[in-house]
Amino acid sequence: MTVLLDEPSIAQRILDHIDQRTTDVCLESWREPVAHYRSENRFQAELTQVFRKTPTPFCPSAALPKVGSFVARDAAMTPILAVRGGDGTVRAFRNACRHRGAQVACGQGREKAFVCPYHGWTYGLDGALRHVPHDYGFPGLDRQTHGLVPVAATEHGGMVWVSQDIEMDLASVRAVPDLLTPDLQLVSVNTTETRANWKISADGFLEGYHIYPTHRETFYPVQFDNLNVVEYFGRNSRVTFPYRNIQKLRDVEPARRRVSGTLTHVYHLFPNVMIATFPLRTIMVVLEPVSVGVTNTVTYTMAAADILASDKSGVERDTGFVDAGAREDRAVVESIQAGLASGANTVFEFGRFEGANAHLHRNLRAVLGVAA
């Protein structure tokens, strides 16, 4: 599927599932070798062949609202700096001074220029080397070739995309719908270490089969257990988690049904980014691999300007509720990672309810060029 369902169509599919006690299923189950979650060789191949050669969302555009706004963090274990230049264009660079390699920025903020904390070499927002203290000590230094090293970057759909080791595949980027609207403002950025392989973390976002057992006191009273709509677009997917209040749409003429406030969409942008929509806010989650068994979960929380002005406390309540569910997911994910050492399983069995999981693993294999 390349075109996602519109609001009336997705509402009808959900109501039909409720009536029939069904959910979306894929054609067949999927068996993923447990070794793919433990192998150092597989992990290194994912970093070099997938993460560094695939255009991936780095941060929301809302994180770079003004000239000089920047975000500096590791992506695929590579220090990357993204900044909005004086011309309004977002650029990305390898975050390393061209003198002795110190990182020139950390975290997020706003700067007029980037000054290396070690010896003071200074770079403009365009990455150009602007100043070298005591430059007589570097005879023959060509400043034109000693700017920050760029990586391919573009903006699309409210996100900044980065491609580290190859040119940007603009066609694959533009195939993604506009997911983050221009009215969104950044509320917070949080990074949490999860002691699990990044794919185990990703798997947890992509199915609702676990809603009742894992989220009995949080999500389950609001949502349904094992009732999802699953769609695919390219290597990406959208998994829809309906709320119980979607029943109110039964009284609305089908063509006029609007789903805002009645469901959560989780968009998986291959390989490691999730966009999740909630009634009062939207989050962008980046699963950054640190090692074969450790992942940094970087969460950008955004809300529309009018909602922040009128219901900031509601945004905070929404955040607290979702964070509670995320803690439950993290506990299970880390339990799975610990359980890998038991040797009980040689494969994970993904059932027909878990088609988006199979879609992720199938595409990983395809990009890596391996059969199993």
Same domain flag for 210 and 61:
no
- How high does pLDDT run on average in the chain? 96
Claim to verify: residue 14 and residue 62 sit in the same structural domain: no
* pLDDT tens-digit map of 329-338: 999 999 999 9
User: What is the pLDDT averaged over residues 210-236?
Assistant: 97
Same domain, 30 and 86: no
Give the tens place of pLDDT for each residue, 58-80. 999 999 999 999 999 999 999 99
Q: List beta partners, residue 75.
A: 78
- pLDDT score, position 372: 57
Burial status of residue 179 (CB atoms within 10 A of its CB: 0-12, 13-18, 19 or more): buried
Do 191 and 308 lie in a common domain? yes
Asked if the structure places residue 310 within a domain, the reply is yes
Full 3-state SS string of 317-355: HHHHHHHHHHHHHHHHHHHHHHHHHHCCCCEEEECCCCH
Pairwise CA distance, residues 271 & 196, whole Å: 16
- Do the domain assignments include residue 346? yes
* Residue whose C-alpha is closest to residue 239's, from 38, 8, 10, 9: 10
124 and 34, same domain (yes or no): no
Confidence of residue 133 (pLDDT cuts 50, 70, 90): very high
Q: What is the CATH number of the domain that holds 72?
A: 2.102.10.10
Are the beta carbons of 208 and 228 closer than 8 angstroms? yes
**23 vs 242: CA distance, rounded Å:** 11
Decide if 131 is inside a domain. yes
In a domain, 186, yes or no: yes
Rounded-to-integer distance, Cα 333 and Cα 341, Å:
14
pLDDT in tens, 270-326: 999 999 999 999 999 999 999 999 999 999 999 999 999 999 899 999 889 999 999
pTM of the model: 0.96
Nearest to 281 by CA among 251, 326, 312: 312
pLDDT in tens, 231-284: 999 999 999 999 999 999 999 999 999 999 999 999 999 999 999 999 999 999
Residues 87 and 200 occupy one common structural domain: no
- Please give the residue range of the domain that contains residue 20: 7-53+180-368
* Structural domain ending residue among the three candidates 168, 201, 220: 168
Beta strands in the chain (DSSP E): 30-33, 56-60, 69-75, 78-84, 90-94, 107-110, 114-115, 122-123, 129-131, 150-156, 159-163, 184-194, 229-233, 236-242, 263-269, 273-277, 282-291, 294-304, 347-350
Residue 173 lies in a domain: no
Convert the pLDDT of each residue in 3-60 to its tens digit: 899 999 999 999 999 999 999 999 999 999 999 999 999 999 999 999 999 999 999 9
Co-location of 221 and 142 in the same domain: no
Whether residues 197 and 81 fall in one domain: no
> Is residue 40 included in any domain, yes or no?
yes
Closest CA to 326 of 291, 276, 289, 263: 276
Question: Where residue 234 sits, what CATH number does that domain have?
Answer: 3.90.380.10
183-187: average pLDDT:
96
Give the total number of structural domains in the chain: 2
| 174 in a structural domain | no
Same domain, 333 and 220: yes
User: 96 with 33, same domain?
Assistant: no
pLDDT, position 370: 80
Residues 49 and 64 in one domain: no
Both 62 and 38 in one domain: the answer is no
Confidence of residue 1 (pLDDT cuts 50, 70, 90): very low
